[in-house]
Amino acid sequence: RRSRISTTKIIDTYVQKKMTILSGIESNTVMNLIIKDSIDEVCSDVHTLINALKSNTTIIAVRFEGDFLDDLSSLQRGEVLEAITAIESLKTVHLGDSFIFTKDIAAMLKSVPGLLELTMSDMVLQGIQIDFDQLEQALHAHTGLKFFKMDNCVTSVQDIDMSNLEKSEKKLSTISSPVAHMAAAQTA
pLDDT digits (tens, 9 = 90+) for 50-59: 999 999 999 9
Confidence of residue 175 (pLDDT cuts 50, 70, 90): low
**SS3 of residue 173 by DSSP:** coil
- The CA radius of gyration of the chain, in Å to the nearest whole number, is 17
Between CA 142 and CA 55 the distance in angstroms is: 24
When mean pLDDT is compared across 18-32, 93-107, 152-166, the lowest value belongs to 18-32
Q: Can you tell me the mean pLDDT for 31-39?
A: 93
Confidence of residue 183 (pLDDT cuts 50, 70, 90): very low
pTM for this prediction: 0.84
Q: Can you tell me the mean pLDDT for 160-175?
A: 84
Phi, psi of 101 (to 5 degrees): -75, 130
Is the pLDDT confidence value at 65 over 90? Answer: yes
Q: Can you tell me the mean pLDDT for 11-29?
A: 70
Confidence of residue 94 (pLDDT cuts 50, 70, 90): very high
**SS3 of residue 6 by DSSP:** helix
To the nearest whole number, what is the mean pLDDT of the chain?
A: 86
72 DSSP 8-state letter: S
pLDDT of residue 17: 53
Predicted confidence (pLDDT) per residue in 110-160, tens digit = 999 999 999 999 999 999 999 999 999 999 999 999 999 999 999 999 899
pLDDT of residue 118: 97
pLDDT of residue 187: 52
Is the pLDDT confidence value at 176 over 80? Answer: no
When mean pLDDT is compared across 63-72, 103-112, 176-185, the lowest value belongs to 176-185
pLDDT of residue 151: 94
Between CA 19 and CA 43 the distance in angstroms is: 7
